[in-house]
């Protein structure tokens, strides 16, 4: 069990474009295991590699906290190939402790990715899974959920963001 430190808003690693995983070796497998330990410790629903300071295209989604039957997902080199509908829902982000607000997302998405064994997979995700996949996938492109704030909301949260920000 290894809990890594979660990078906070203000750290430039969160704004980098992450690189594809070339080979799913022991280092990548260890990263994923540590990400699950870190996510469970933080009681979050999703975590991307950049949030533990690694600019690789990997994220995990684990909704077992809110849905006992949920299957934890590991997505390596993911690509959202289809997005349908729009739904607004509240989101938080472990890199922004204490900040929650409504974000519009696709209601369902089709995502292609590799699993930990390197198998190519394609799933259609709905509801909270779809939301989490879009949020985490954004992290791999250096996009953060605050980028969806309107100018007015941004003013509203300015003080809070300043407190969260490091560096
Ligand atoms: Zn996030």
CATH number of the structural domain spanning residue 93: 3.90.45.10
Is residue 126 in a domain? yes
For this structure, is 107 an active site residue? Answer: no
Beta bridge partners of 48: 59
- The predicted-structure confidence for 47-76, as pLDDT tens digits, reads as follows 999 999 999 999 999 999 888 888 999 999
Q: How far is the CA of 45 from the centre of ligand 1 (A)?
A: 9
pLDDT at position 66: 86
Could you give the residue ranges of the DSSP H alpha helices within the chain? Answer: 26-42, 127-140, 151-164
Phi and psi of 152, rounded to 5°? -65, -45
Residue 167 has pLDDT above 80, yes or no: no
> Ligand 1 centre and the CA of 129: distance in Å?
14
Give the residue among 103, 106, 81 at the shortest CA–CA distance from 92: 103
Give me the domain span that covers residue 101. 12-164
Residue 137 lies in a domain: yes
Q: State how far the Cα of 50 lies from the Cα of 80, in Å rounded to an integer.
A: 18
Of 30, 17, 58, residue with least CA distance to 142:
17
**Residue 120 pLDDT grade (very low, low, confident, very high; cuts 50, 70, 90):** very high
In a domain, 2, yes or no: no
Which one is catalytic: 17, 91, 117, 136? 136
- Does residue 6 lie in a domain region? no
Mean pLDDT of the chain: 96
Distance 122 CA to ligand 1 centre (A): 22
pTM over the 0.75 mark: yes
Q: How far is the CA of 26 from the centre of ligand 1 (A)?
A: 25
Is 5 inside any structural domain?
A: no
Asked if the structure places residue 4 within a domain, the reply is no
- 72, 60, 70: which is closest to 34 by C-alpha? 60
Q: Give which of 119, 99, 111 is closest to 136, Cα–Cα.
A: 111
Environment class of residue 99 by beta-carbon count within 10 Å: exposed (0-12), middle (13-18) or buried (19+)?
middle
pLDDT of residue 166: 86
Ligand 1 centroid–CA 23 distance in Å is 25
Q: How far is the CA of 95 from the centre of ligand 1 (A)?
A: 6
In a domain, 112, yes or no: yes
If one counts the domains in the chain, the total is 1
Span 9-37, pLDDT tens digits: 999 999 999 999 999 999 999 999 999 99
């Amino acid at each position: 069990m290894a809990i890594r430190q979660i990078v906070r808003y203000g750290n430039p690693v969160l704004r980098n474009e992450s690189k594809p995983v070339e080979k799913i070796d022991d280092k990548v497998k260890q990263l994923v295991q540590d990400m699950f330990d870190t996510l469970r410790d933080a009681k979050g629903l999703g975590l991307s590699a950049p949030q533990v300071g690694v600019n690789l295209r990997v994220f995990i989604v684990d909704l077992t906290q809110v849905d006992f039957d949920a299957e934890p997902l590991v997505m390596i080199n993911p690509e959202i190939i289809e997005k349908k509908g729009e739904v607004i829902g509240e989101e938080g982000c472990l890199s922004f402790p204490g900040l929650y607000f409504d974000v519009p997302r696709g209601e369902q998405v089709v995502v292609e990715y590799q699993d930990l064994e390197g198998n190519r997979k394609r799933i259609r995700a709905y509801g909270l899974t779809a939301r989490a996949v879009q949020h985490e996938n954004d992290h791999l492109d250096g996009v953060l959920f605050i980028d969806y704030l309107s100018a007015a909301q941004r003013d509203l949260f300015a003080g809070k963001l300043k407190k969260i920000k490091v560096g």
